[in-house]
Amino acid sequence: MRIAVINETSAGDKNKDILKALEGFHHEILNVGMKAAGTDPELTYIHTGFLGALLLQTQRADLVVGGCGTGIGFLNSIMQYPNVFCGLLREPLDAWLFAQINAGNAISLALNQGYGWAGEIQLRFLFERLFSVQPGSGYPKHRAQSQSQSRTALETLSQRTHRPFLEIVQTLPEFVIRPALEFPGVLEALDPYSLEDKALAQALFIRSPGLEK
């Protein structure tokens, strides 16, 4: 699994804790957000929500790990985009249930509120529970079929209630798309030159003059 870790500015100092908590699970990690709090250039949860959705859309990531001070800002930001299914995870039990019932592709963490002594240990426990079960397997088991049907219905709803991602990239305001696309490390993770969706690649080139065609 390819996991994109995308910290925003207020929680940049928790980046090292997230990376440490993900060690040993044998996943490929793309660390493409803030590495420290308040440094320049800066990504807010507005930028990291777009980046997370873009990496999922282009299949550069299978799971996005984001968050902010409360986790709510990133959750709301990334859920504005199609085919994103994000959960706000505060405790290991949240992660265990989210994986089985919701089978999401993004998680949001509260990285300041309530993040105190042994916060990094809590993150480790959370990831252990998240990866301990088969996504979408259902809980309790007799609800598995109904939950699977609801998950499929969510995909249909997402497609019908959102604009196409190409159109989103073409029309997003500059203050959102430029800082996100030109943030250090994003280009390498995204690799727009090899995208199968050539129309989306072209739109990315147009919206970020720093990318050479």
pLDDT tens-digit profile of 114-152? 999 999 999 999 999 999 999 999 999 999 999 999 999
Q: What is the structure's pLDDT at 128?
A: 98
Q: What is the pLDDT of residue 209?
A: 74
Closest C-alpha to 33, from 51, 56, 17, 46: 51
Query: Mean pLDDT over residues 188-212, rounded?
Result: 88
Residue 212 has pLDDT above 70, yes or no: no
Quote the pLDDT of residue 16.
97
Q: Is 4 exposed, middle or buried (0-12, 13-18, 19+ CB in 10 A)?
A: buried
Q: Which residue has the tokens 């993004």?
A: 106
pTM exceeds cut of 0.75: yes
- Which range, 45-49, 188-192, 206-210, is most confident? 45-49
Asked whether the predicted pLDDT for residue 213 surpasses 90, the reply is: no
pLDDT given for residue 211 in this prediction: 65
For the segment(s) 2-207, the CATH number from 1.10.3720.10, 3.30.565.10, 3.40.1400.10, 3.30.420.40 is 3.40.1400.10
Render pLDDT for 175-193 as a digit per residue (tens, 0 to 9): 999 999 999 999 899 999 9
Tell me what pLDDT residue 38 has. Answer: 85
Preceding peptide of 41 cis, ω within 30°: yes
